[in-house]
Structure 1
Amino acid sequence: MLLAAALAGCASWGEKPGEEGQGKHSVYQQERFQADETFSRLFDAGVAETCEAARRALLSQGYDITEAKPDKIKGVKRFQPEGEVHVEIGFTVVCVPEGSQQRVATAFVSALQDRYVVKKSTNSTSLGVSAIGSISLPTSSSMESLVKVGSETIPAGRFYDRFFSLMQRMLQEQGEAGSDKG
């Protein structure tokens, strides 16, 4: 009786009053679109310099750059936090000019975390030789593959704040290197 009540409670989880039987809320209904949750930062540099700072920031943290354009950078880094679990973080940075003279740029950043597990599969067959009789020789093969079990955009917060701080440091270093040449 208690189990039935618990299951009934789980079935109606996430429903608003009057919406019984309509299921859980869609993920998009949780999107807040608030100004304090920003995936962007304004930099005092042009588009190419801002994206170059993003590229250098990702490289300095061990990311593999998969796409590098003057206004867009993509990078990926792989982790293995547990024996059978693999995690991949993919970064996308898009740099957009701001202002009439376009001397400043906004960097829009989004990081996607994919989670994989190792799936093992075994194929076994047996070989029978009819001339000898009923002797069978078992043969088997084992294969492992990564199977994606989850994917999510990393939410705005400290993760991006640390990245933007590193980008700012890279911009300062680029500016210092440029002024040393002049």
Structure 2
Amino acid sequence: MSLSSLLTGCGTSLKTFPSQEKFGSTATYSRLFDATPAQTCEAARRALLSQGYIISTAREDLVSGQKSFQPDVESHLQLEIRIVCVPDSKDGKVSLGFVTALQDRYALKKSNNSASLGVGVIGSVSLPFTSSSDSLVKVGSETIVSVSFYDSFFDLVKQYLVADDGLDAAH
């Protein structure tokens, strides 16, 4: 018996999944802006704030924010959006914004607990006291791939860049 057949026989079969990634057009996750990376990231920060996101990171080259949703009583969603802003021209006045959104899904898990009571000489007595505790358990995580989701985000960022240009011109 060869070593490879021995190893094949002893190994456990691993569950395989089809490839989830198809590298292709970057149009879904990135856009060019007529602004510096710092201006682009600031507009992205304002866009997130305007939609109720809590900003966890705000730098000239990176912004990230989170927002929670509760679509029904037993589930919870958390959406995290990250924007990376990089220069795309030699003079730095054109930038490229890369955006990804990750959605985590949680479900309510109930667990029952019963109580027992230890009584000195008698020993342990089980009493019919029960309680249940609820906890959220992460059941999934996925990158948002909807083109319309990203289009609407980039449109909002552009609105804040235009608003900033108006403020700069007034000063």
Q: TM-score, normalised by structure 1?
A: 0.79
Shift of 1:139: 3.5
* Structure 1: distance between partners of 2:20 and 2:123: 67
1:40 correspondence with 2:30: yes
Could you tell me which runs of 5 or more consecutive residues in structure 2 were left unpaired when the two chains were aligned: 1-12
* Structure 2: distance between partners of 1:60 and 1:25: 38
**Gap change, CA 1:102 and 1:57, over 3 Å in 2:** same
Alignment-mate amino acid for residue 88 of structure 1: Q
1:154 aligned partner = 144
* Structure 2: distance between partners of 1:99 and 1:133: 79
Question: How many pairs are equivalent?
Answer: 159
What percentage of aligned pairs have identical amino acids? 52
Aligned residue runs from structure 1 range 46-125, under 5 A: 46-125=36-115
1:145 aligned partner = 135
* Structure 2: distance between partners of 1:134 and 1:64: 50
Shift of 1:62: 0.4
Q: TM-score, normalised by structure 2?
A: 0.84
**Gap change, CA 1:100 and 1:158, over 3 Å in 2:** same
**Gap change, CA 1:137 and 1:110, over 3 Å in 2:** same
2:159 aligned partner = 169
Could you tell me which runs of 5 or more consecutive residues in structure 1 were left unpaired when the two chains were aligned: 1-20
